[in-house]
Amino acid sequence: MPIIALLIFTFATALIGLFIPIRYGNRFAFISSLIVFIYSLYLFCTFPITADFQYVVDYSWIQSLGIHFKVGMDGISVLLVMLTTFLTPLIIFSVRKSEPRPRAFYSLLLFMEMALIGVFVSMDGFLFYIFWEIALIPIYFICLLWGGKDRVRITLKFFIYTLTGSLFMLVGLIYLYLHTPGEHSFDIQALYTAGKSLSAHAQCILFWFFFLAFGIKMPIFPLHTWQPDTYSDAPTQGTMMLSGIMLKMGIYGLIRWMIPMLPVGLSQNAQYVMWLSIAGVLYAGIIAFTRKDMKRLLAYSSISHVGLIAAGIFAFNGQGLQGGIIQMLSHGINVVGLFFVVDIIQSRTGTRDIASLGGIRLKAPYLATVFAIIMLGAVALPLTDGFPGEFLLISGVFKFENIMGAVVGLTIIIGAVYMFRMYQRTILGETSLATENFTDLTAGEKAVLIPIVIMVILIGVCPNLFLKVSEPAILKLLGGI
Amino acid sequence: MTLYLFLILGFFAVLSALMVVFSKNPIHSILYLVLTFFAIAGEYVLLNAQFLAIVNIIVYAGAIMVLFLFVVMLLNLNHETEPHKSMLRKLIAVIAAGLLMVVLVGSLKGADTMAIQPFSHNAGLIENLGKVLFDQFLLPFEVSAVLFLAAMVGAVMLGKKDIK
Amino acid sequence: MNTLIILSALGVVALFAEIFRFRKGLFPLILIGLAAAFFFTAKEYNHPQVFFGMMNFDNYAVIFSCAILIIAFLWFMMAKNYFLQETSVTDHFALILFSLVGAVVMVSFNNLTMLFLGIEILSVSVYVLAASDKTNVMSNESGFKYFLMGSFATGFLLFGITLIYGVTGSFDLTTIQHNLSTGRETYMALAGVLLLMIGLGFKSSLAPFHFWAPDVYEGAPTTVTTYMATVVKTAAFAAFYRLFSLCFWQLAAHWTDVLSWMVVLTLFIGNVSAVRQRSVKRMLAYSSVAHAGYIAIAIVAMSVPSTCAILYYTFTYSISSLSAFTILFIVSRHKGSKDISAFEGMSKANPLLSFTMTVAMLSLAGIPPTAGFFAKYYVFYTAINHGFTWLVLVAVLAALVGIYYYFRVIIAIYFKPEQQLVPIKVGPLHRTVLIITTILTLLFGLFPNLVLGWL
Amino acid sequence: MGDLKTIPMDWYLLLSTILFSIGVMGVLFRRNAIIIFMSIELMLNAVNLLLVAFSAYHNDANGQVFVFFTMAVAAAEIAVGLAILVVVYRNTKSTDIDVLNRLKG
Amino acid sequence: MLQYAALIPFFPLAGFIILGLLNKRLPKNLAAVIACGMLLISFGLALGMFMNISGQSQEVQLAPWINVGSFSASFTFLLDPLSSIFLMIITGVGFLIHVYSIGYMHDDEKHNIFFAYLNLFVFFMLVLVMASSYLLMFVGWEGVGLCSYLLIGFWFKNKAYNDAAKKAFIMNRIGDLGFLLGIILLFITFGSSDYHTIFTKANGFMSGDAMITTITLLLFVGAMGKSAQIPLYTWLPDAMAGPTPVSALIHAATMVTAGIYMVARSGILYALSPISMYVVALVGVVTAVFAATIALTQNDIKKVLAYSTVSQLGYMFLGLGVGAFSASVFHVMTHAFFKALLFLCAGSVIHGLAGEQDIRHMGGLRKKLPITFITFLIGTLAIAGIPPFAGFFSKDEILIHAYSSNKLFWALGMLGSMMTAFYMFRLLFLTFSGTYRGDSHKVHPHESPKVMTVPLIILAILSTIGGFVGVPESLGGTSQISKFLDPVFKPAQAKMMMVEGSGGVSEMMLMGITITVVLISIFAAWYMYVSRKSVPVSEGTKLPFFTKLSYHNFYVDEIYSALITKPLDKISELLKNIIENKVIDGVVNASGKVTEWVSGLMRFVQTGNVDFYLLAMVVGIALIIFLKLM
């Protein structure tokens, strides 16, 4: 029931938000998302740490097809729901007052929050797919309506790209559904059973179908080319949503749906997909070296980070999975923070071009400090949030195969190179023409960034707080195969 | 005997059908078409469907062909206004149609070895037909009234000049 | 049967209205009549009746009739304004009502004679309607092309019927089915089946017999195009499926591969051709061809769920198309252009039109939570269930191309800066139609059981 | 074949197929819409012939009744068709089908 | 008592938090007092621990950290003799440098932040040495790297300084990757990263085990990065961009010795792998000599000291590599004293000359800066290895062990210490003797304030007497330090079965040789720079080949740049412009383009001519029937 409450509440606020007087639009959206956050925090704090799904609700939806409205949360879901509900208020709060058509913007954000929560709690394949796709619509419009110059082409590409994957996933889901024992059903357990009973050949083919969907969403090299364009052209809040939460959908899909359903498919293809992921880590990282546009640089860094997460998850051992989960949280938090910083810089100077910036620290020490801390999280310095995840992931991959671990480990060097380069050229040095009149963080901006900074350190120092929540679910997952 | 009759009528039908297509003057085409219909009506008689044969002549050769003639006259098409297609396209048309024929004939030939005894059935007699038509086929018969109504309304609607 | 009587009577009344100067009251009367027809049809649900062995009003027929009546009802609401400016309103209404008779016959036939007559009644009316904008050469051309090709295709359809008759000695579906199952003369029967498939494929615009569709759709008055894309298409597929599922399923092994290749071709041509269209109307025409391809997948994978798939798909597709065409109608009348540029930047001044158009496009593109998604889902499900996974993969690729052109409309609506902020006036009837179609699109998308539950 | 009194069904099939194909050829061959309409009539007649033959073969009146309906349909169609043609002619002053190619692409 | 020692790191952390949060709101003096005070408290606790440790080792668990299944890591501190020595060095020398900084940084506008960073650094350094597991050590390890980054780039307006900071961080990261992979391998091999568990389980391994060799080599990569060994040493000379106290604290006394600490800590593992030991020694000795040759020609006062540090670190690794763990730790300690002293003196000189660092513009400062001169002299004597100064004992012990292990290493070591003496005295002479060569109108050399000179004096004293804790038995000493460390290194030494020393007589002889060689070097330096008063030529003049090579650091930076940095940037652009844009995205876009193109073609098929449509239909029908029925 709590889950239904979450979904309905977010949906209702999204609707109501359309009709709220513009003056109160921001406050309304922020407060309602804050309520959602507080409620989910309550759920999180009282969450019983077992491997079973909690708060399960099961309604029959389309009887004739065995489709149910079945939702529930286990340790993995609850973390991602938390991530969503934590970031959404921040993202909403970070919207600038000057944004045109604010009500639609907030409503789309809230609507998206609903869809994302839905994705993370679905226990029915069909429902999952519906939420998966629904989440795409608001972000599409956010990018289309408030995006940059080349948005038409880019958003369409983004949409078709992601839909390509999803449609293949749909085919895969239907195929699995038709192999569920007895009365066909989309229930997650039934799909697990169905998937496992398939021949190795069928599993491999389905594996690639699903991989396409999740791989594009994340994105994994070489399915990533929609991403840098979209990130750099979308409005910052859209980028935050995309990178902070939405790409976790792909990773979550891997963990929740793909791997448990197709264990043989995984074991036969893990080699290839892991090498792809690792190639992505290096490839995107190296490309990030010379990016001039800050958003683009972060976009590539995101690909690089996600490649690592994917590799860890495909390695499919305790470290890899747990690392993946904690890294999902920390990556979400870091990347939202970083994109917001970029947004601040852009709104002050009108440019994201690294070369024309510099010396911001002289004018805005707070910004510089906050940026530095979040960046350190991104480069996985111990005691920041990036470290536990990255360490676990690398060791997970290493455990799977030494060479891979060693190669993927290069990320800690590469990441440092591009991040520090960017930091140095934008924040340090002498002021440039663009940054001469730079002003430091406003109270509102601090209100967004400080929670992020706190989370960066909190996860770094006490990762156990989160790891222990997902542990039973992960163990069950590992044991189930 | 009947076989020869069949063949002769068939020959006429085919020949005049070809003339319909190849005649340059539309009026000639219409007349050849009438000839074809007569030949086909002859075949009907051969099959002991006298009523249909008569109807065929009345409806087709009579009504429809007059309609055609009427339109041709109305549109003043009795002279050769039709710009002919290029040889290539005509050739393609002939080939395509020939192809279709070959394929159809090929697919149907040897499908079965049934034979018909002409003049030996009474199914085509008017009384039988009447029974079937107004008993079994009453509903289609009535529904075809709607068809005619629709065609009539349509033709009138298209034909009449709008009062502007 | 009642349905037929009511519809025919309404048609005749419409004709007389011209004579008795009853035009004003005609429109409400027709709506009431349609509602009554719907009521009497619905009453026959679960009471299958056979009339003279010619019509079988089973649940399939009842539900498709109801669907057609609902669509027709909405269509009348949409088309009213258009016809009021014409002098021959009553003729139009009468023709539509007659054609509805044909459509109802097509979904309930139990005899090839009825099928043939049904198709012809529907076609003849629509030939005329397509050409009904008499002074417009486009409309003339459209009607002429439709007529010429339609009657040509009728020839093949008839040939097919004849061959079937030759093999089975009957026009009655039950007898045909029975006689075919004894396996006699399969060869000729198969030729008959293929020719019937070609004839019906023409009516439902499957490639390579689709060529008429884009031209005719574009040239015909928008309201008539709407009618063709909705009622005619629904009836055509209902008839197609009814015939093939009742009579020819034993021969499925022989014709599914042909049909599946036709589907592939249709999906390809329909979707790919739509990409470069500037005219929204023509784009929708191609999209209509493409959708025929998706629906035909359900026929290829003939099995129990196919019925539901076809019902759901045709019905929801009709509703979404109705919505899209209505907006196109409104916009093109306002801007004087059917070009996609007419839609540019209308989002700010016309939130209702923009929103409903977006929903319609999403539905046609098959994006959840709209009905279009579930329709595609159900078709895919049917096909995979029947082992036609490869066909589904083709359809998936086609759907991706589809996104491309449907989204161009959405982009035009939202993206381009507003050139003029004049809100387009939307009449109350149109408004009602749009709201109803949009709500139905979303409602059926979320609760497909509302449609599926009946079959 | 033997008996002159019996005619093989195949021959009817052949004859009507040939006539049908000539109709098809006519449709493809000519540009004058009226001739094309006539060719279509030819196709329908070919089918009618076959129907009657089958009817005779089955000794069943249904086939012949169906011919009635075919004729009815043909008449209705041709009436509508010619009406459309007249409308077209009014606007284009031609019955050449190739003139009608504004709708394309 | 020992329990309280676990609190040691938290005082500097508290200092950092207070200074960091309040920052400018705090008056400078108060800030300085807080920073120094925190360190003083820590030092007090460290001292108390040192007094009470007497060979025990104790773990203090503070909190769990990461638990994943069998994998677990916690915040646990290990208190044992080895860590206590390092604690003493860090807090003690650190405190002095803090005090010195009060004077040195007095006028800097970011004074408070500077102290905050220093405190943070000390915190991480303490974590590093107190960690009871490799993973926690890694926390400190990366933490000090971060602080080093922050402090090198402290004057962030200068691009070169920022570059230096970034270079330091990234080079360290390269090493860290090795370290990290080593830790992961440890986890996989031993199921834990706790020293205790690992060292206990390591006893079960054979000497020369491949896994252990891999692990130790990977760990050593980490050490090479942090302790600036070939090939990862180039960041350290550049790191002199930071304020001089930073150079003293981080890049001389403490952080750079982390690598030595780590290898010493892992003694048992290294003992099990002769190959790794050999590699450590080889890298160490090569670095020692190589860096010394570069130091010979440098003209920047801090650069000379930096290369000297690299060289001295090489000695320490040599010591580790030949199994002289306690000797190396001993050298770490003495080095901390004298190198901190030297750096601070250099700072004092720079301070006195208003920022001048080029020794070609110095000279004759003996009179102007007497205290600095004397303390610098003591430091120089100590590093050169003149008895009884601290450096002599520690370095000699390393050399003696080297001799008994490998004569070549010893010979190279000798060469190195000869050069050391030369370049140090060259520095001394060029700076303090002769006449002032700078622009005396603009710059007025002056002695530094008390707050700076007092730490100098204290460090000078330590450099003088520090060596006595490790006077070898051959010289009648008791070698207290090695006894003190014995509990830590015993198991390792037992594994190695090394020959202990090579007999008293021979030791005496080796010492004699060393001293002689060093004295000759000093004389040579005196001859060149005092007697002949030669001064290094100014920039731009042609230099002899080897001098040039040495002066330009053998062009290693240029080589790295040409081989690694620039190609990577090129590859980056190449990947983006060719692979990304043309190939991958090209395929994606092409699919769209092809669709549009085909769509364009399809428009020609829809000709608008009915007869074509009809023809297509007929052909279609014929084809269908043909394919199906023929």
Could you tell me which of C356, C336, C339 has the C-alpha nearest to residue C347? C356
Q: Domain range holding A456?
A: 271-481
Could you tell me which of A332, A327, A293 has the C-alpha nearest to residue A313? A327
More confident residue, E536 or B46: B46
pLDDT of residue B78: 57
Per-residue model confidence as pLDDT tens digits over E61-70: 888 888 887 7
pTM equals 0.92
pLDDT at E493 over 50: yes
D35–chain B Cβ distance below 8 A for any pair: yes
Token pair 């784009």: residue: C283
CATH class name, domain B1-79: mainly alpha
Cα(A404)–Cα(A406) distance, integer angstroms: 5
Give the CA angle between residues A100, A103, A104 to the nearest 5°.
Answer: 85
pLDDT of residue A303: 92
Per-residue model confidence as pLDDT tens digits over E183-215: 998 888 888 888 888 888 888 888 888 888 988
Q: Do chains C and D have 3 or more beta-carbon pairs under 8 angstroms? A: yes
Cα(C49)–Cα(C56) distance, integer angstroms: 6
- Beta strand pairing call for B115-116 and A67-73: unpaired
Cα(E329)–Cα(E313) distance, integer angstroms: 11
Q: Report CB contact under 8 Å: A134, C411.
A: no
H helix intervals, E322-471: 325-352, 365-368, 370-384, 390-405, 407-432, 450-465
C430–chain E Cβ distance below 8 A for any pair: no
Domain-wise residue ranges, chain E: 1-132, 133-435+455-551, 558-629
Q: Closest approach of chain D CAs to the CA of B164, in angstroms?
A: 16
Spans in chain D with pLDDT lower than 50? 1-2
Q: Which of A141, A160, A171 sits opposite C384 (nearest CB)?
A: A171
Share of chain E above pLDDT 70, in %: 97
C118–chain B Cβ distance below 8 A for any pair: yes
Most E CBs within 10 Å, among B100, B102, B105, B112, to test the E interface:
B100
A165 neighbors A215 (Cβ within 8 angstroms): yes
Cα(C120)–Cα(C154) distance, integer angstroms: 8
C299–chain B Cβ distance below 8 A for any pair: no
Which letter does DSSP use for residue C111 in this model? Answer: B
pLDDT category at B164 given cuts 50, 70, 90 is very low
Cross-strand partners of E271: none
Q: Partners for E (CB, 8 Å, 3+ pairs)?
A: A, B, C, D
Q: Which of E611, E622, E629 sits opposite B99 (nearest CB)?
A: E622
Helix (H) or strand (E) holding B57: none
pLDDT of residue D2: 46
Structure tokens at C254: 């022989």
Q: Report CB contact under 8 Å: A286, E181.
A: no
A352 neighbors A294 (Cβ within 8 angstroms): yes
Contacts of B143 in chain C (CB under 8 A): 4, 101, 105, 114, 117-118, 121
Cα(A188)–Cα(A71) distance, integer angstroms: 10
Contacts of E67 in chain A (CB under 8 A): 464, 467-468, 471
Could you tell me which of C403, A163, C259, C411 has the C-alpha nearest to residue E595? C403
Give the CA angle between residues E565, E567, E573 to the nearest 5°.
Answer: 105
pLDDT of residue D1: 43
Q: Report CB contact under 8 Å: E630, B93.
A: no
Give the CA angle between residues E427, E430, E434 to the nearest 5°.
Answer: 150
More confident residue, C389 or E24: C389
Per-residue model confidence as pLDDT tens digits over A365-402: 889 999 999 999 999 998 899 999 999 999 999 989 98
Q: Do chains B and C have 3 or more beta-carbon pairs under 8 angstroms? A: yes
What ipTM is given for this predicted complex? Answer: 0.91
Q: Report CB contact under 8 Å: D28, E611.
A: yes
Counting the structural domains of chain A, the total is 1
Report if residue A185 sits inside a domain: no
Q: Closest approach of chain B CAs to the CA of D44, in angstroms?
A: 11
Could you tell me which of E277, E183, E175, E179 has the C-alpha nearest to residue E228? E175
Q: Report CB contact under 8 Å: B113, D61.
A: no
Token pair 């007389």: residue: C16
Phi, psi of E440 (to 5 degrees): -75, -10
Share of chain A above pLDDT 70, in %: 100
Cβ contacts below 8 Å, chain C against chain E, sum to 70
**List of E strands, C53-192:** 55-57
**List of E strands, E219-280:** none
A156–chain C Cβ distance below 8 A for any pair: yes
Distance (Å) of CA E536 to CA A188, E350, E423, E528, E531: 79, 19, 12, 11, 14
Q: Do chains E and C have 3 or more beta-carbon pairs under 8 angstroms? A: yes
Instruction: List the end-to-end C-alpha distance of chain C, in Å, as a whole number.
Output: 20
Q: Partners for B (CB, 8 Å, 3+ pairs)?
A: C, D, E
C107–chain B Cβ distance below 8 A for any pair: no
Q: Establish whether the linkage from the previous residue to A222 is cis, with ω within 30° of 0.
A: yes
Q: Closest approach of chain B CAs to the CA of E597, in angstroms?
A: 28
Q: Do chains A and D have 3 or more beta-carbon pairs under 8 angstroms? A: no
Cα(B81)–Cα(B84) distance, integer angstroms: 9
D36–chain C Cβ distance below 8 A for any pair: yes
Contacts of D100 in chain E (CB under 8 A): 608, 610
DSSP secondary structure, B151-164, as one string: HHHHHHHHHSPP--
Structure tokens at E485: 């460390």
Q: Report CB contact under 8 Å: D31, E606.
A: no
Per-residue model confidence as pLDDT tens digits over E427-456: 888 888 878 777 777 777 788 888 888 888
DSSP secondary structure, A277-289, as one string: HHHHHHHHHHHHH
Q: Which residue of E has its CA nearest to C138?
A: E608
Per-residue model confidence as pLDDT tens digits over C286-341: 999 999 999 999 999 988 889 999 999 999 999 999 999 999 999 988 888 888 88
Q: Partners for D (CB, 8 Å, 3+ pairs)?
A: B, C, E
Structure tokens at E160: 């070169």
Q: Establish whether the linkage from the previous residue to A89 is cis, with ω within 30° of 0.
A: no
H helices, E strands: number in chain C: 19, 2
Q: Closest approach of chain B CAs to the CA of D96, in angstroms?
A: 7
Contacts of D97 in chain E (CB under 8 A): 609-611
Token pair 């004894």: residue: C182
Instruction: List the end-to-end C-alpha distance of chain E, in Å, as a whole number.
Output: 102
Which residues, 6 or more positions from B14, have their beta carbon under 8 angstroms from its beta carbon? Answer: D15, D18, D19, D22
Q: Which of B89, B100, B106 sits opposite E621 (nearest CB)?
A: B100
Residue C206 — left, alpha, or beta (φ > 0 → left; ψ -120 to 50 → alpha)? Answer: beta
pLDDT at C26 over 90: no
Cα(A271)–Cα(A470) distance, integer angstroms: 26
E160–chain A Cβ distance below 8 A for any pair: no
- Calculate the average pLDDT of chain B: 83
Helix (H) or strand (E) holding A73: strand A67-73
Most D CBs within 10 Å, among C162, C171, C282, to test the D interface:
C162
What CATH topology corresponds to D3-98? Helix Hairpins (1.10.287)
pLDDT at E499 over 60: no
Structure tokens at A472: 């039973």
Q: Which residue of D has its CA nearest to B69?
A: D34
Cross-strand partners of E77: E60, E131
Per-residue model confidence as pLDDT tens digits over E135-172: 999 999 999 999 999 888 888 888 888 888 888 898 88
Counting the structural domains of chain C, the total is 1
Cα(C91)–Cα(A208) distance, integer angstroms: 58
Residue E479 — left, alpha, or beta (φ > 0 → left; ψ -120 to 50 → alpha)? Answer: left
Q: Which residue of D has its CA nearest to C273?
A: D105
Q: Closest approach of chain E CAs to the CA of C417, in angstroms?
A: 25
Q: Closest approach of chain A CAs to the CA of E65, in angstroms?
A: 6
Q: Which residue of C has its CA nearest to B135?
A: C52
Contacts of C275 in chain E (CB under 8 A): 595-596, 599
Cα(C127)–Cα(C403) distance, integer angstroms: 32
Q: Closest approach of chain C CAs to the CA of D66, in angstroms?
A: 7
Which residues, 6 or more positions from A153, have their beta carbon under 8 angstroms from its beta carbon? Answer: none
Q: Closest approach of chain A CAs to the CA of E228, in angstroms?
A: 17
Could you tell me which of E489, E513, E509 has the C-alpha nearest to residue E413? E513
Q: What distance lies between CA E30 and its chain's CA centroid?
A: 31
Provide the b/e sequence for D24-50 (b: ≥16 CB within 10 Å): bbbbbbbbbbbbbbbbbbbbbbbbbbb
Structure tokens at A87: 């970031």
Cα(C61)–Cα(C84) distance, integer angstroms: 32
Crossing angle of helices D33-58 and D62-92, rounded to 10°: 180
Q: Report CB contact under 8 Å: B103, E615.
A: no
Distance (Å) of CA E168 to CA A384, E180, E292, E309, E310: 20, 18, 20, 15, 14
Report the range of poorest mean pLDDT among A307-321, C72-86, E81-95: C72-86
Q: Which residue of B has its CA nearest to E624?
A: B103
Is the CA virtual torsion A12, A18, A24, A25 positive or negative? positive
Which residues, 6 or more positions from E213, have their beta carbon under 8 angstroms from its beta carbon? Answer: E273, E275, E276
- Calculate the average pLDDT of chain C: 90
Q: Report CB contact under 8 Å: C381, A174.
A: yes
Report if residue A182 sits inside a domain: no
Cα(C191)–Cα(C195) distance, integer angstroms: 6
Task: Tell me if residue C51 falls in helix, strand or coil.
Answer: strand
Q: Which of B138, B155, B158 sits opposite C134 (nearest CB)?
A: B158
Could you tell me which of E75, E96, E74, E92 has the C-alpha nearest to residue E84? E92
Residue type, A321: L
